[in-house]
Amino acid sequence: MSDLTRLSAVEIAGLVASGETSAVEVTQAHLDRIGAVDDRVHAFLHVDTEGALAAARAVDERRAAGAELGPLAGVPVAVKDVLTTKGVPTTVGSKILEGWRPPYDSTIVERLRDAGTVMLGKTNMDEFAMGSSTEYSAYGPSRNPWDLERIPGGSGGGSAAALAAYEAPLSIGSDTGGSIRQPGAVTGTVGAKPTYGGTSRYGLVAFSSSLDTPGPCARTVLDAALLHQVIGGHDPRDSTSIPAPVPDVVAAARLGATGDLTGVKLGVVTEFTGEGAEPGVMAAFRDAAEALAKLGAEIVEVSCPHFKYALPAYYLIAPSECSSNLARFDGVRFGLRVGDDGNRSLEEVMSLTREAGFGPEVKRRIMIGTYALSSGYYDAYYGQAQKVRTLITRDFTSAFEQVDALISPTTPFVAFPIGSRTADPYQMYLADLFTIPANLYGGPAISVPCGLSDGLPVGFQIMAPTLADDRMYRVAAALEGAVGTLTPPTL
């Protein structure tokens, strides 16, 4: 294995900029690594060898011509298959989009290209980003580099596994209820959900539009911040994009790395008592909180009484929005079409296509959402869930009058064995117990490794007020400096 795959994005960019190595060499090293391990890890659904090498050559040419390179030029990045990539297959982990090559790039991908990063390919995910393990991918699960018999989290398990397996130094995920942070936690990597609207949804295949948030995944906090800076910011093509500059997350990460948190007040959520969480996870969380206190942070308890309703509210709101968003997959507009033999009605073809194209979890969500939105039940379910969402937002607002940021474990449990939670959907939903509140509120939240439990990574979550993404990076970088990064076993 080449050493180049062990470097951080910052280190790679430095070597490329100084000419000590070329973007092509870096890219080839990562393609070789993918070739060597991805048959076991299955982080990728599609590897774009030609496209990656061409992008790398373009960076090397620009450097040779004396052009100024951006801070991540020449750095490889893996992109969750939920984002459209022009001419490159985009499946969303579903059979219904198998073979679809989008005619346009999502804004995130466009910004990645403009920044001179090198897209290696598209990563595996639970179908339509619904799940917490990648076991709901129509193309088979990804595996956790810490233990190949365990899940790498989900829905963005491929993006996290690619980092932990050193197949890519950076990746992109999307977080609707935890799909960036939870995979980060269970693979010992960093995953950040930006403020909702801080990163563009243009070209992000929609699951739950009021929650979906693309964001950065990396092995270090500073790398995540650099990626965040590149992909974030206003996009007129997304109606919910915030017309404000990206907070200076890179400066914040650098500040945090100095290890001084004097004057920073952090709140432990009283209601996250640890009930339903593994004792080893809670112990690692408490040790990390103590480490932050040693850096000068003041740690207090803050009550968020409505957080306990976040999971049920989410599992009404997200399926409701999904039932509407996924209506467009009808066998007419994109991808799969089944039964179009000239003798069947349009409705029959649609029905056969959706029956064959969607997996069981997606169908379950569509049915729950359709039910919750139906006229007789709208007030009792969807309407009620929206009221709960308001109460959760108020909990956050009042918490942030008392503290600068909230802290918790990212997930109640470490990576679980493949197959152990698929029989009962509720068991799978519990993986997002601690991550979902931030989605309902819309504020930024990040997961940083904070140690091991039973030899497996534990994630530490930092939640900040909307638009204060920089604040969470500061605390995250301080924590990383105190507890160190995690190195998975050699594959």
Residue 158 identity: G
Give residues in contact with ligand GLN (CB under 6 A).
129-132, 155, 175-179, 207, 318, 432
Establish whether 18 is a catalytic residue: no
Which residue lies nearer to ligand GLN by CB, 162 or 318? 318
Residue 340 Cα distances to 92, 326, 351, 388, 472, angstroms: 23, 20, 11, 44, 52
Contact 297, 462 (CB under 8 A): no
DSSP 427-479: HHHGGGTTTHHHHHHT--EEEEEEEEETTEEEEEEEE--TT-HHHHHHHHHHH
DSSP state letter for 379: I
Q: State the nearest-atom distance from the C-beta of 174 to ligand GLN, in Å.
A: 6
Between residues 80 and 354, which has the closer beta carbon with respect to ligand GLN? 80
Q: Name the minimum Å distance from CB 145 to ligand GLN.
A: 20
CA distance 156 to 158: 5
What is the closest distance, in whole angstroms, from the C-beta atom of residue 153 to ligand GLN in the complex?
9
Q: Which residues contact 34 (CB under 8 A, 6 or more apart)?
A: 43, 44, 47, 120, 121, 167
Per annotation, catalytic residue among 8, 155, 174, 208:
155
**DSSP of 299-346, one letter per residue?**
EEEE--TTGGGHHHHHHHHHHHHHHHHGGG-SSSSSS-----SSSS-H
In the complex, least distance from residue 388 CB atom to ligand GLN, rounded to whole angstroms: 16
Question: Which of the following is catalytic: 137, 179, 200, 323?
Answer: 179
Q: Is 80 a catalytic residue?
A: yes
Answer whether 150's CB lies under 8 Å from 185's CB: no
Nearer to ligand GLN, 131 or 444 (CB): 131
Termini Cα distance of the chain: 10
**Least Å distance between CB 325 and ligand GLN?**
12
Shortest reach from residue 354's CB to ligand GLN, in Å: 19
CB closer to ligand GLN, 362 vs 491:
362
- Provide, rounded to whole angstroms, the least separation between the CB of residue 37 and ligand GLN: 25
**Residue with smaller CB distance to ligand GLN, 44 or 136:** 136
Element (H, E) at 470: helix 469-483
3-state DSSP assignment of residue 63: helix
Chain centroid to Cα 324, Å, comes to: 23
- For 427, the token pair is 């068991």
Tracing tokens 């997961």 back to the chain, one arrives at: 447
Peptide bond into 155 cis (omega under 30): yes
Distance CA 250, CA 3 (A): 25
Strand pairing report for 44-47 and 118-123: antiparallel
- Give the separation between CA 468 and CA 357, rounded to whole angstroms: 40
Give the residue with the Cβ less far from ligand GLN, 131 or 267: 131
CA distance 478 to 476: 5
CA distances (Å), origin 91, targets 100, 204, 261, 430: 7, 12, 43, 26
C-alpha neighbours within 13 Å on the C-beta side of residue 253: 22
Minimum gap (Å) between residue 315 Cβ and ligand GLN: 8
According to DSSP, the residues that pair with 447 across neighbouring strands are 191, 461
| 374 counts as catalytic | no
> What radius of gyration do the chain's Cα atoms show?
21
Question: What minimum distance in Å lies between the beta carbon of 132 and ligand GLN?
Answer: 4
Nearer to ligand GLN, 130 or 399 (CB): 130
What residues are labeled active site?
Answer: 80, 155, 179
